[in-house]
Amino acid sequence: MLRRLGLLTAAVINAVSRIAFQFALPVLLFTGTGGVDFYSLGDVSYLVAGIACTLTIFSFSWLYGWWRNIPRRQLGVFVQASFRSNLAIVGIALCIAAYGDQGVALAALPIAILTALYNILAVIVLNSNNEGSRSISSFALGMLRNPLLLGIGLGAIASLLRWPVPDPVRSFAWAISTYYMPLALVCIGGAMNLESLRSSAAMTWEAVAWRLCFSPAVGVAIALSMGVSGAPLGVLFLLLASPVANASFVMVVAAKADERFAANVIVLTTLFSIVTITGGFFVLSVLGLVDG
């Protein structure tokens, strides 16, 4: 609505996205990672399953995109949408709703580790399919300069050295999450284009299927093969079944890839995840594989 009224222009959307990518999200990731106690970890089989699932979906969705002959400007967006779920907002909220404090404790480490992995893989796939050098050194330099990875890295260092995140930083991160990130969501809605959605319907729906169906199914299958069950399996499913992460849009804009395609997939996966997450968790509960 704001875009049609002329109040939300492309310049505003790009500016908000740049601030989110370079400043707001790194602060949130630093605070979240800094709060993880890496010295008191128990059984992390469900985390290993999540990592294995991410790498599997990343590899096979890229191969599928090549086979499908997806244009390069959209291929990176497609692959990122396939493996990257909204851990820090939707995922953690679902875990809290299902398991309360236990859900927070179980989800903290996967969110920190998978967020770092997501950003590394996103830098690789977006850089290789869009502007910039595609050499190994450029990938490494791009990751070292990535503000999201810097935030996670600094948070991990603080946690390992047992340095508590200062209260002012926590308060500031809460303010960003409460007031700024909703503005970023408004910009994602403003970037959505129904005309482009109709013209690329097949590819868009394929990306939705990869994110909401294939990825959580692969994650659950891997976890079950490793003997994971109960609350850890439930938390893993809720994290992997979440819609495409909002941060993916920010990285797409930074890489100058197809931002309209990215916005469309984010909105559609957010809408249809209501059905897929509820149905999937219900099936796992009926089969007695998860608690809740």
Q: Is residue 161 part of a domain?
A: yes
SS3 6: coil
Residue that has been written with the tokens 């990751």 in this structure: 143
Structure tokens at 30: 């630093």
Q: Is residue 2 part of a domain?
A: no
Q: Using CA atoms, how far apart are residues 258 and 286, in angstroms rounded to an integer?
A: 40
The phi-psi region of residue 162 (left if phi > 0; otherwise alpha if psi is between -120 and 50; otherwise beta) is left
Q: Is residue 144 part of a domain?
A: yes
Q: Is residue 60 part of a domain?
A: yes
Cα torsion 86, 153, 158, 88 to 10°: value is: 0
Asked whether the beta carbons of 169 and 27 are under 8 A apart, the reply is: yes
> In terms of Cα–Cα distance, which of 67, 5, 69, 79 is closest to 258?
79
First to last CA, the chain: 39
- The total number of structural domains in the chain stands at 1
Q: How far is CA 279 from the centre of its chain?
A: 21
Q: Using CA atoms, how far apart are residues 192 and 13, in angstroms rounded to an integer?
A: 11
pLDDT of residue 198: 62
Asked whether the beta carbons of 121 and 115 are under 8 A apart, the reply is: no
Q: Is residue 1 part of a domain?
A: no
Structure tokens at 40: 């008191």
pLDDT of residue 223: 95
Range of the domain at 71: 10-286
Asked whether the beta carbons of 147 and 21 are under 8 A apart, the reply is: yes
- 10 Å Cβ neighbour count for 264? 27
Residue that has been written with the tokens 């909220």 in this structure: 93
- 10 Å Cβ neighbour count for 148? 26
Q: Is residue 3 part of a domain?
A: no
Per-residue pLDDT of the chain (292 residues; tens, 9 = 90+): 888 888 888 788 778 877 877 888 788 778 877 877 777 666 789 999 999 999 999 999 999 999 999 888 889 899 999 999 988 777 877 887 888 777 777 887 788 788 888 888 888 888 777 654 455 566 666 667 778 778 878 888 888 888 888 888 888 888 887 777 777 777 767 776 666 556 557 888 999 999 999 999 999 999 999 999 999 999 999 999 999 987 788 778 777 778 888 888 888 898 888 899 999 999 999 999 987 6
> In terms of Cα–Cα distance, which of 250, 268, 272, 269 is closest to 259?
250
- 10 Å Cβ neighbour count for 163? 10
CATH of the domain at 272: 1.20.1530.20
